[in-house]
Amino acid sequence: MFKKATWLHLRLPFSYFLLPIYLFAISISPNLSETGLLGLFLILHFFIYPASNAFNSFYDKDEGSIGGLKNPPKVDKNVLYMAQMFDTIGMLLTLWLFPRNWTLALMVLAYILVSRAYSHPAIRLKKYGIISWMIAGFFQGAWVVWLVYIGLNGFAFTSVFKLHVLIPGLLASAILWGSYPMTQIYQHEEDGKRGDITLSMKLGVLGTFHFTAICFSIAMLAYLWYFNAYWQIKYAYHFLLSMTPVLLFFGWWYWQVRKHAGKANFSNTMRLNLISATCLGGFFLYFFLNSSQILNVVGVY
């Protein structure tokens, strides 16, 4: 139905980078079901996120490397049709697997609309550096945490304003607000051609590193406080340990870029994303299994 080049623009492997957000969300949920866990995972990572990637590819028409694709093929109308189809499937699955959970359906729809506003030329939030940074970090972080929480538990939207739900959502966004400018660091020339003044362009290459370092430091302190206040201090220590490879690579990369600005490239950006997603995903998977007592149930402990 679609060419290989069209499928590539879904950038399915890129969904892996957002997996830690989902794992964090299920970790704070009091009600778990196989249908809910698998359904939301599939809806987000195999349909909604890839549709957003394809929609972004169609309107950006990048000639250089983009997140998840070093050499993106040329786009045509099929990429847009693919994005429409995947968003539609994602919405239909939401309505089918979570019947009468209209809050969840509306939250999924809101995510789709915002992701389109991010790229569509009629609005194009992407061209506004600070606004796009805030919105992308909020919707890919906090909004997804609350969406998954409401989807699994069937609670009203007002449950989001309870501190034990509100805080994890904002913490998820804090990590993304720190890392988001790093994903733009190698695209300054490409973004500039389209008139997209991203936050990373405003900060400059070294400024992006400094900004991310500050944001990550604040976020890590906030996570340590959260685990100590709401769970157990051991989770704070394990979180710090899991972030060590990320910090080591970030420090090495920063040193390389100071010596040669060309090191702020696609390959190193993807390496940072992969290390971050793997370390955070591993920690949140451990946190989910441990805090939910699933390991005790299956007899691991």
**pLDDT tens digits along 190-246:** 878 778 889 999 999 999 999 999 999 999 999 999 999 999 999 999 999 999 999
User: Residue 294 has what pLDDT?
Assistant: 66
User: Residue 36 has what pLDDT?
Assistant: 95
User: Residue 71 has what pLDDT?
Assistant: 78
Q: Which fold has domain 4-292?
A: Farnesyl Diphosphate Synthase (1.10.600)
How far, in Å, CA of 95 to CA of 14, rounded?
Answer: 25
How far, in Å, CA of 219 to CA of 47, rounded?
Answer: 29
3-state secondary structure (DSSP) of residue 128? strand
Element (H or E) spanning 198, and its range?
strand 197-198
User: What residues pair up with 198 in beta bridges, in sequence order?
Assistant: 129
Contacts of 159 (CB under 8 A, 6+ apart): 149, 150, 153, 165
Structure tokens given for 170: 């904002």
pLDDT in tens, 37-47: 999 999 999 99
Q: In the chain, which stretches have pLDDT less than 70?
A: 1-2, 65, 67, 293-301
Q: How many residues does the chain have?
A: 301
User: Residue 301 has what pLDDT?
Assistant: 47
User: Residue 196 has what pLDDT?
Assistant: 82
